Structure 1
Amino acid sequence: MRYDIIPDKNSIELRDLCATKKFSPSTPVSSSHCPLMPEKHHLINAKTIAQMKPGVMLINTSSGQLIDTKAAIEGIKSGIVGYLGIDVYEQEEHIFFKDLSDTVIQDDTFQLLQSFQNVLITSHQAFFTKEALNDIASTTLSNITDFEQGKLLQNEVKLPEKVLTKA
């Protein structure tokens, strides 16, 4: 079962596409694969978790802010969430990509998550495959070559004019 805010008619015929954001109480796994947009902030929350099958495996590799972490913790405690796998965390900017090995992490919510045996946190490692790294390297080298040769830049990021004039 899946939900898409912009349904593709071809996909509807090929897959179980839900017309609503409701979660099926019979689905054993819920996996999020979507970018963060305002309407998706805390897409997984106390209300949606309550609709899930008890013991559900909840996976998020998209954006930490898709899941209301405190609601997920309550779901774990109640048994509705049987397993939680997250490659992203709602407050990750304070924790991920830093060496905190000689520090006491001050984020109590994160510490609590780590204490559960049925929670796996991978801190942005889900992408870390040989194929992904090859694609990143290939795209980067292609961008550099195109820039050096004065070609159209396929991945150019253009800043709004007012951002450029502030400096």
Structure 2
Amino acid sequence: MSHEELLAQLDLRREKAAAMGGPDKLAKRLENDELNAMERLDALIDPGTFIETGLLGASGMYKKDESKTPRDGKIVGFAKIGGRDIGVVFNDFTVKGASTSTTNSKKMGHVRRVTTEKGMPFVHIGESTGARLPDAMGSRGMGVSLGNDTTQFRRIRETPWA
């Protein structure tokens, strides 16, 4: 595959991730007067400051889920609010109800670790169905559940969390 073809393929993957859970699920949120995750993010942060990490992350537990889990249901990265650097996680309910999985737990853990190391506030806008049980069940899920992040639920706040 040529370099140009690889770049075109990357652009398609980025577009798919940006489409979130797809037009039907986004339309349903609009009908219910609910902001989607990107709309919430845009309303909160300073314009043009968002740097996303893990854009191409997808569920890694089952191959059949890869194409159905853009961003694995979590939009994570770094931005500014009032000129101050922050780490952010926004749950994307249009992708598997924003359920927590191994991949998106690793994405969230990365942002939490960086914000703690850098002394930055951490903002998590959550709306979720809970853990993605099929990913955590059976021998495949055992030991990798929630990304093996032992600090996830400790709530030791060395920096502000919101």
**Does TM, scored on the shorter chain, surpass 0.5?**
no
1 or 2, which has the higher helix percentage?
2
What interval of TM-score do these two structures reach, taking the shorter chain for normalisation? 0.3 to 0.5
From the CA coordinates, give the structure whose radius of gyration is larger.
1
TM-score (normalizing by structure 2): 0.34
